[in-house]
Structure 1
Amino acid sequence: MAVMGYLRDRMGKIVAGVIGLSLVAFVATEAVQSGGSFLRDDNNELGNVGGEKIAYDQFNAAVEQNVSQFKQQSGQSRVTPQITTYVQENTWNQFVTKAIVKKEVEKLGLTVGGDEIQSMTSGSNPAPQIVQAFTDPQTGKFDPASVSNAINALKGLRDDDPQKKQWTTFIADLINGKKAEKYMVLVTNGLYVNSLEAKDAYESKNRLANFKYAVLPYASIPDSKITLTDADYSAYYDEHKGEFKNAQESRSISYVAFNAAPSATDTAAIKAQMTKLLPGFIASTNDSLFVQINSENKAPLAYQRKGELEPKLDSMMFNEAPGFIYGPYLAGSSYKIAKLVEARMSPDSVKARHILVTPTESGGTIEKALARADSLKALIESGKGSFESLAPIFSVDKASGSKGGDLGTFGRGAMVPAFETAVFNGKKGDLKVVTSQFGVHLVQIQDQIGSSKVVKVAVVDKALSASSTTQSSAYGKAQAFLANVNKDNFAAEAKKSGLPLQAGEDINGTASSLPGLNDARELVRWVFKAEKNAVSDQVFTVGDQYVVAQVKSIKPKGILPLDVIKEQIKPSVLQFVKSKQLTDKLTAALNGAKSIEQVAQKAGVPVTPVQNIVFSNPVLPGSSAEYKAVGTVFGLAPNKLSKPIAGMQGVYVLSPDSFVNPAPLTNTVREKEQIAQTLIQRADAQLFEALKDKANVKDNRAKML
């Protein structure tokens, strides 16, 4: 049972590794944030990395696969917009990383040989992803034999089998990761720390400075006393232009939302519908069918242990008799009614083995597969054959077949429902023929461990939803607002209509949700196609809200122009202007002064002495980190006065009293190693940023996804 055994279990872990697999450590936390324009001559080009195209269809297929794998690993039937965005971003990073690293690896001719691949998978030095996927969850120990069993099982699958494709992709990623690892080793081996650097680092942590300072705080000048001019903004912008580099295009919007959530009347109507179902549910003799007909969430009935039911049910169903009905009750965004169908004592876990027979291997029909399973059962019951000898020959599940069909010990939820029901409801020693979506299983229950109460609860639910009247009313208001607004009166019309004007700031092109607006991808897509100040040409449906929006600002990729960030930098410009005024005041106080005390007296501020400050921790007691001020001190001779220094809290004049030098550095090697380790940790991210800038990554996702 390749899917039910190793492959069903292991591939779930493997694909989780594929989703999170980064080619090198620096990619794992590095979000590639690149903008770009839509290339009209190639509608399938989602992006471009140094001339290598990222095709939309290939990317989309990879996203779908990763979403499917996420569902399989997490057990979720659907994913949220936030998870979808995460998977898309992670998939994009994989494509970009592979393209960037591939070029660098090819330049150097780096390869991974067959012996290395064998070592990474089933050899003496398995990759971490292999170890994670094939570690026994019960013992916490890595099982090398299970890797070989899974590989052997995969060999029996067709090349187009999804699990074989997953494994092939997984191994390809391991190989690419190994190449990237070799590349990083070459880079980090080139990092060198000399003795002078080690000495400087040692002194920065251990040399002590005792000094005095006088400071004119920025808060001493009220903001109201400052009138900012265009020249002030330009001067500050020119000095700090490098700080305004935008990694990817972002946009901000203003919007109004019209609520179409279920009204009190809608909620009462849904509760009444559920109440009408109660008599039929009470009288039902086929609760599974009743659920399938009447419930929106048509979950199959299954035994559950204490703690597995939702809290409201878990606290009562284990204390009631079969037939007990609870509800209608509100749970999240649904009304529900629940019926206790059955309660019994059941094993906590089961040890079993099986032989899987499929129609494909038995002549093409399920009847022939059943006949073969019955024949194998008869052989075992008659003593003419043993499970251990027949499983390796007849079981399609070669992973368990090679071990006599052994599936190990497992709890509820580990197997598909039909298989689970057979082994948990039977008794030790039973030999059963069971049909599931994987084929026909000849199952033997080897042991049943523990015993606890389980219950089977049938739940009928109906989600709260707005009536057509509620939706029409909200949509009509939104349409009326849209008809009255344009790019010049958006805010005024919102105020006139008594609607709160909400903001979405610095939205990136791949966002699928905004604060207060889930599943807003369609709205974001429009935002990135519209011009500045444009008003949406339609009412957007976002969850249970109808939204009309206006593009407020556009921040392009690269150095942002002053007009885009003018309002954002206003507090910094205020401080910039104050620093000039305070610097002029302290410059005048320094004129003719011989000591810090004279400077402070002229400026009308006290002198503050500080002791035992180190360069690597430039925090002034009672204040905050003052990098420029403390750095200046360590460049002065004792009793010398500094020039005015614009710091974080104000403008300073400082004067050292004395310095206490540390004992001579005796272990240069250790200091070098510590610095080198820091360099290596930083090198990962910095190297990737450098490669990314050089590769000229173009990103068209905002307009295409």
Structure 2
Amino acid sequence: MAIIGKIRSKSGWIVAVLGLALLTFTFDLWKDVFLSWFGKTPTSIGTVYGEDVDAMKFDALRRYQDERFQLLTGRAPQEKEVEFWYDEAWRRFTDSIVLSKEFEALGIQVSENELNAYFNATNGFKGLPDLVTLEGNPQNSGQPQQIIPSVFKDNSTGTYTAQSIAQGKEVIKKLKADKTANGQKLWAIFENEYKQLRAREKYMQLLTQGIYTTKIELEDRVESKSTTKNVSYIIKRFNEIPDEQVKANDSELKAYFEEHKSDAKYKVEKANREVRVVSLNIVPSGKDSAVFNGEIAKIRSAWSKIKADSAFVIRNSDRAFYFNDKRATAVPEGNEKAQMGYQTFPADYELIFKTAKLDSIVGPYLSQGFMNISKVVGFTPSRIKARHIFISTAGLDAKASAPKKALADSLSKIATPANFAQLVTKHSDDQRSKADSGLIKVPMNNKAPSENLISGDLIVLGYDKILADYCETGKVGEIKKIETPAGIHIIQITERDENKFPLLVTISKTFEPSKETYQNKEDEAYNLLTKISDAVNKEPSNEKKIEKFNQLVQDAKNYAQPISIEDDNISYTKNSNLYSFQETNTTNSIIELAYGGGGIGSFNEYPILDGERYIIAMLSAIKPSGEPSFSDVKQAMEQELMKEKKAKLLKAQLAQAGKSVSDIVAKSGNTVQATVADVSFIGGSGGELESEPEVIGAIFGGLKDGASTLPIVGNNGVYIIQVNKTSKNPVAANYKTEKENLIKENQVAVDYRAI
């Protein structure tokens, strides 16, 4: 089968062309006939809550998504982004089918006046929320990215401020006033997106307002939180008995299956299919390494003789990264500056770079997925903290700038550490640092802005090189006037580390397998697929097929990863199990294997090239919703049956040891020690008991102080519990705060439970 598959993999385009021609010829003739047999309209592609999903309307939404993305990003889509659009369009379309009925029934509308107030942050609206979309980001595996930026939030803090709201209003005003064709399209998209969002907000607010807690619920919660029990317990753990001692045979397992197949924990909630995937990673061979090391040695030798770095680096590097200023700073991997786009080097190279001489070449070393060699061209302090008063003179002639310069001269003479913040508030033209008493901060990804700078940050923030150079060499604590083309800075360096980061010019090379290595791995993958598929196909039952597959994969010193795909949730973006694949073709091939009509033991016809690996996949389970099949739960039930056998033995051991915790401790001559814990029904601190619901239930099920339970089977073993003391914590005269907290907890869950 694999040999035929190999031929097909090399000539699939022929089959595709012929198939497409035939399909095109026959589809228009027969599609309406086929659809009418199933009672569908010719344009229906499915149903949602009994409503037809119209293909033409769905396609129109997809086209809208496409145009929207290109207008907002200014670029054409990439292959993976198209996949995300399809799923995002489907989510929006099905949501609209569900919500439109709800909006109509509840009379939810968004008027023009309400939308204007929403846009202008008036009538109680504080500012527009962010619109985060799922339209793909190939650089981070398709995680949501925000392609409509924050309009009303401060970009550095992520919060609403008076200044950011004022700026947001100006953005809205300009966007609405743009009468160009693209401008009008953008405004229409903007207005449509926020109108839908506002309607959804109103719907969720209505649901939230309907959240209520009963008196009985409240009293039960308060009682549970206010009661604490001090307990002593002894546990006999399951791992004290070897598995071999309680091994279950096939007849026992089948009897156990018949008895427990209807148990809730074994029920298949959603129909799904399981595919087992084997990865054969393609890594450079020893021969590849020798060739690569020779290339690196030649580059290093030639570079040591050249002074003009830029042309040499651009010609030889596989990565476009070259700066001749402070942005050439390199930081150790793991440093907070690494997330800001600076070069990185392994942490264990820090001492090497710290002691390196200028123009020395270091490497090769691996960082950011490249093999690098770097020339040291300078050093910069690893941390600077500075504040300033900025007087802008940009665009002013000599006459207009004279009063500004006079003000700067005056400020430089009167500024002191004590009055610096006051002078910033009154005179500084730098709005970014004004709110922080002049302290210069750099935005950080997913974190609050940092006051810990390096000189490269100042360049990135748009400050002049003159200011960056002064921050490296100026006297700490001194207040100094620094003139730049943009204006005059009254600056104070408040802190500066003696530790240095290197400035590096780096040549990055990609170390990858050769064509010969790829071919060898492809041959290995085909041979393994042939061996496994031939052996599996000879097995008489599904259970034996899976056992043979697992055995042969293990013999090949590999691992089969099971991937579960829900029948009603096959899409790429919604099924996290499919995220691990690098190529869209791989995802499609796995889905085709799962739903292409083959039975358990079916394989992909040929190994799938997925980035830097070949994949062999086998359909290992087809699970309808409801009761499971024996093969699907055999392993889980075997573990459960052995656990029951162990529990029976452990209960007998505890019963023989004594009737209570104190009795067992006494009879053992104190060789057995009880564990003591304080436990509450909600939010307790009972250690391992918190993960034992059966035990917690027994403790709070009416057990009096001094009494012990019978042996209780838990998740970790068999317990005997003794209650030492029950304590009641004081409670408030009324339950207002507790009621508010309980309602808030339920309100938070409204959004994801409603749809």
TM tier, shorter chain?
0.5 to 0.7
- Pair 1:153 & 2:181 matched: no
Partner Cα distance (1:611, 1:481) in 2: 55
DSSP 3-state at the match of 1:144: helix
Q: Give the secondary structure class of the aligned counterpart of 2:202.
A: helix
Matched, 1:631 2:697: yes
For residues 232-288 of structure 1, give each alpha carbon's deviation from its aligned partner in whole angstroms, at most 9, with x where no partner exists: 1232332325x644457352314251x432223323323434555568767889865
The equivalent residue for 1:240 is: 264
How far did 1:40 drift? 13
Aligned with residue 194 of structure 1, among 214, 231, 242: 214
Tell me which amino acid in the other structure corresponds to 1:550: M
User: Does 2:307 match 1:307?
Assistant: no
**1:177/1:553 CA distance change after superposition, 3 Å:** same
Asked if 1 retains the 8 angstrom alpha-carbon contact of 2:62 and 2:85, the reply is no
1:478 aligns with 2:498: no
TM-score using structure 1 length = 0.60
> 1:447 aligns to what?
487
Q: 1:607 & 1:425 partners in 2: Cα distance? A: 70
Partner of 2:515: 468
What is the letter of the counterpart of residue 499 of structure 1? A
AA matched with 1:447: G
One of 568, 571, 585 as aligned partner of 1:522: 585
Task: Check 1:458–1:203 CA distance in 2 against 1; reply closer, same or farther (3 A cut).
Answer: closer
Q: Is the 8 A contact 2:329 2:501 kept in 1?
A: no
- Provide the rounded CA distance (Å) in 2 between the counterparts of 1:262 and 1:198: 64
How far off is 1:108 after superposition? 1.4
Q: Distance in 1 between matches of 2:214 and 2:255?
A: 46
Which residue of 1 is the match for residue 118 of structure 2?
120
Cα 1:71–1:629, aligned 2, differ >3 Å: closer, same or farther?
Answer: farther
The offset of 1:178, in angstroms, is 2.5
| 1:564-591 C-alpha deviation (Å, 9 max, x unpaired) | 23313432343356668989999x99xx
Contact 2:581-2:587 within 8 A present in 1 as well: no
1:677: which partner in 2? 744
Q: Does 1:101 align with 2:99?
A: yes
SS in 1 for 2:636: coil
Question: Counterpart of 1:566?
Answer: 634
User: Is contact 1:67–1:84 with CA below 8 Å preserved after alignment?
Assistant: no
Q: Which secondary structure state, in structure 2, belongs to the residue aligned with residue 186 of structure 1?
A: helix
Counterpart Cα distance in 1 of 2:48 and 2:688? 51
Give the counterpart letter for 1:519 in structure 2. Q
Does the CA contact (< 8 Å) of 2:229 and 2:678 recur in 1? Answer: yes
Question: Secondary structure of the equivalent of 1:575?
Answer: helix
The CA distance in 1 between the partners of 2:679 and 2:48, in whole Å, is 50
Structure 2 counterpart of 1:467, one-letter code: S
5+ long unaligned stretches in structure 1: 1-38, 355-376, 385-405, 428-443, 590-594, 692-705
Post-superposition Cα deviations, 1:328-370, rounded to whole Å, max 9, x if no partner, equal: 734445455556899999x99999899xxxxxxxxxxxxxxxx
| Aligned equivalents of 2:719, 2:117: Cα separation in 1 | 61
Residues 274 and 190 of structure 1: is their aligned pair in 2 closer, same or farther, counting only changes over 3 Å? same
For 1:373-399, what per-residue CA distance to the aligned partner results, in whole angstroms no more than 9, with x for missing partners?
xxxx9xx98999xxxxxxxxxxxxxxx
> Secondary structure, in 3 states, of the residue corresponding to 1:121?
helix
1:537, CA displacement in angstroms?
A: 0.8
- Work out the number of aligned pairs and report it: 565
| Aligned position for 1:537 | 605
Match of 2:272 in 1: 249
Could you give the per-residue CA deviations for residues 169-228 of structure 1, whole angstroms, max 9, x where no partner exists?
455343333322222222222222233332222222234668999988767876433633
In structure 2, distance between residues paired with 1:318 and 1:153: 54
Native 8 Å contact 2:268 2:626 kept in 1: yes
Match of 1:229 in 2: 253
CA distance in 2 between counterparts of 1:348 and 1:673 reads 44
CA contact (8 A) 2:226 2:731 kept: no
Residue type of the partner of 1:616? Answer: I
8 Å CA contact retained: 2:267, 2:627: yes
Quickly say closer, same or farther: Cα 1:469–1:409, change in 2 above 3 A: same
Q: Which residue of 1 aligns with 2:17?
A: none
Residue by residue, what CA displacement relative to the aligned partner does 1:96-138 show, whole Å, maximum 9, x if unpaired? Answer: 5455434422331212233332333322421343995444556
| Cα shift at 1:71 | 12
Higher relative contact order (CA 8 A, sep 6+): 1
Q: Distance in 1 between matches of 2:355 and 2:721?
A: 74
SS state of the match for residue 127, structure 1?
coil
In the other structure, the counterpart of 1:392 is none
Q: Assess if the C-alpha contact under 8 Å between 2:601 and 2:620 holds in 1.
A: yes
User: Take 2:460 and 2:686, find their aligned partners in 1: how far apart are those partners?
Assistant: 66
Q: Distance in 1 between matches of 2:676 and 2:307?
A: 84
Q: Using a 3 Å threshold, how does the CA distance of structure 1 residues 641 and 505 change in structure 2: closer, same or farther?
A: same
Give distance in 2, aligned partners of 1:217 and 1:171.
62
Determine helix, strand or coil for the equivalent of 2:745.
helix
1:316–1:330 CA distance, 2 compared to 1 (3 A)? closer
For residue 548 of structure 1, what is the amino acid of its counterpart?
I
Larger displacement relative to structure 2 (262-271 or 220-229): 220-229
Instruction: Give the alignment's TM-score, normalised by structure 2.
Output: 0.56
Structure 1 counterpart of 2:118, one-letter code: M
Secondary structure of the residue that 2:616 maps to in structure 1?
A: strand
**In 2, Cα distance between equivalents of 1:515 and 1:628:** 36
1:75-474 aligned at under 5 Å gives the runs: 97-124=95-122, 125-129=126-130, 132-137=150-155, 141=161, 142-155=163-176, 157=178, 160-161=181-182, 168-207=188-227, 223=243, 224-225=245-246, 227=248, 228-241=252-265, 244-247=267-270, 249-255=272-278, 257=280, 259-276=281-298, 293-299=315-321, 301=323, 303-305=325-327, 307=329, 309-311=342-344, 324=359, 326=361, 329-332=364-367, 333-336=369-372, 446-447=486-487, 459-474=506-521
Contact 2:279 2:616 in 1 (8 A): yes
Cross-structure match for 2:140: none
Q: Percent identity?
A: 17
Shift of the alpha carbon at 1:545? 2.6
Given that 1:520 and 1:542 are in contact with CA atoms closer than 8 Å, whether structure 2 keeps it comes out as yes
Aligned: 1:505 with 2:572:
no
Separation in 2, partners of 1:60, 1:631: 56
Please give the secondary structure, in 2, of the residue aligned with 1:547.
strand
Partner of 1:30: none
Distance 1:107 1:59 in 2: 27
Distance 1:246 1:67 in 2: 40
What letter matches 1:233 in structure 2? F
**Bigger shift: 122-131 or 223-232?**
122-131
Amino acid at match of 2:639: P
Task: Provide Cα deviations, 1:607-660, integer angstroms capped at 9, x if missing partner.
Answer: 989897544367878855543344356554869998986544567788989977
Task: Give the letter for the 2:562 counterpart.
Answer: E
Residue type of the alignment partner of 1:115: N
Report the Cα offset of residue 502 of structure 1.
Answer: 1.3
Matches of residues 22-37 of structure 1 in structure 2 within 5 Å?
none
Q: CA RMSD in A?
A: 6.2
Shift of 1:66: 6.7
Q: Cα gap change, 1:608/1:303 in structure 2, threshold over 3 Å: closer, same or farther?
A: closer
CA distance 1:60–1:248, shift in 2 (3 Å): farther
CA distance in 1, matches of 2:736, 2:650: 46
Label 1:269 to 1:207 Cα distance change in 2 as closer, same or farther (>3 A).
closer
| 1:97–1:303 CA distance, 2 compared to 1 (3 A) | farther
SS at match of 2:533: coil
